[in-house]
Amino acid sequence: MPSRRTLLRVMLWSLGLGALVGVAAILAGNVHDIWRVSLTAFVTAVAVGLMIPVSMLMDKPAGRQASMLGMWAILLAFLLAMLLTWDLVHVLPIRGRTETVALTLVFVLLCSLPAMFFLVILRNASARVAGSVGLILTAAVFAALMIGTWGFLGTPPGDKWFSTAGAAACLGLLAVASLVRIEAKGPGIAAIWLVGIRLAGAIAAGLALAVAVYAIWFNIHRDSGLLTTLVCIAAVIAHANLCLLVPLTRSQEWVRAVTIGAAFATAVCIDLMWVTQLGRTDRDLLVRLASASALAASCGSLALLVLARINRRIVDQPPVLQEIREITLICPGCHKTQTLTVGDAACPTCRLRIRTSIHEPRCPKCEYLLFMLTSDRCPECGEPIEQGLVRTEGPAPPANSH
């Protein structure tokens, strides 16, 4: 794989070539073919520019598969762009060649982004099921888009395939969000209830998708209270599950509770409007209540993100262990408070030799730095941090006296 420095040089040369050819085309006045060369240079620069951030995922083991997928998607999009630029789509045995290739280019880039994200979270033990389901749904959405675009297997292209892909993408995200941390194990009945609720959210999203697909393919356009109810259930559970992932301190937990409660109230009001037969006055009241609770849920969700970032900034300041040279302790020999250098030292009073070491506390799952952590969960992966389970960087030698 080329280095980032090489990719940057290719991008700069492509931009320079595009600028020179564009200027030459304008001055010469013959832009019939020269503009294609100029556009090729700019498209190459854009492709290389996209390659650079995607290649950065290679630095982490969890992002290597996602990086490879992203680079292949960019390469395919680049080739499709070249077909459009040089008007080579006429060799394809399809109708509407230009529109088909352009839509394929857009869909390749759009579907590669969620696929890369699901490949990354697939390496996380607490999101393995969600990542697997997300990859399957992304593949299904991309297949529906390609069938609708190209008309594979004798199926005529049409809007129904695009509508099916859109429904699968929207409702599939609710199912994936509901399945995050479904593998989490914990003591007590509360953990079992959480797994059941998350599974119920995924099932509700799946049933809603089945109803939506049935309505799309059988040309049913009337409103459905069943579909609305299923979507509301899936949305509330998915939203609540994502809110539970945000690491908060105990004094901040009320924000999470209010946000989840507001989202639940919004769903209840929407369901009542569709399921029950109400007068205009009662319906207007429910609309106002739903709007107010939805606004509260939106503001609460943003507040959770802000609080998570604030907490992350607090714990993101790593200790500079190389600057820690001394440690104050009570000598086990003479019981006097001494300030000794870190490592091998000796008590100046009783000459007792003492060896000390300092190590960074890290999450046992993702190795995130937990120095000055104020939450009981890892800010990076959400793993519960219990006393004695924090991993230290490197083997800690025993602080025995000699």
Structure tokens at 221: 């356009």
pLDDT tens-digit readout, 339-393: 888 888 888 888 888 888 877 787 777 677 777 776 777 776 667 776 555 555 4
Look up residue 138 and give its two tokens: 């992304």
pLDDT in tens, 229-288: 999 999 999 999 999 988 888 888 999 999 999 999 999 998 888 777 767 778 888 889
* Side chain identity, residue 155: T
Residue reference for tokens 């960074």: 360
Residue range 40-50: mean pLDDT, rounded: 81
pLDDT single digits (tens) 100-154: 889 999 999 999 999 999 999 888 878 889 999 999 999 999 999 998 888 765 5
User: In terms of pTM, does the model score above 0.85?
Assistant: no
SS3 of 369, please?
A: strand
Coil, strand or helix at 366: coil
The pLDDT of residue 12 is: 64
Structure tokens at 341: 């250098």
pLDDT in the model for residue 71 = 85
Residues in the chain, overall count: 402
Which residue type, as a one-letter code, is found at position 110?
L
Mean pLDDT check: name the lowest of 95-99, 221-225, 393-397. 393-397
Rounded to a whole number, what is the distance in angstroms from the first to the last CA of the chain? 53
CA dist 185 to 125, 189, 195, 250, Å?
11, 11, 9, 21
Residues 273 and 287: beta-carbon distance below 8 Å: yes
Q: Identify the CA nearest to 319 among candidates 269, 393, 257, 395.
A: 393
Contact between 67 and 84 (Cβ < 8 Å): no
Buried b (16+ CB within 10 A) or exposed e, 174-187: bbbbbbbbbebeee
Strands 361-362 and 391-392: antiparallel
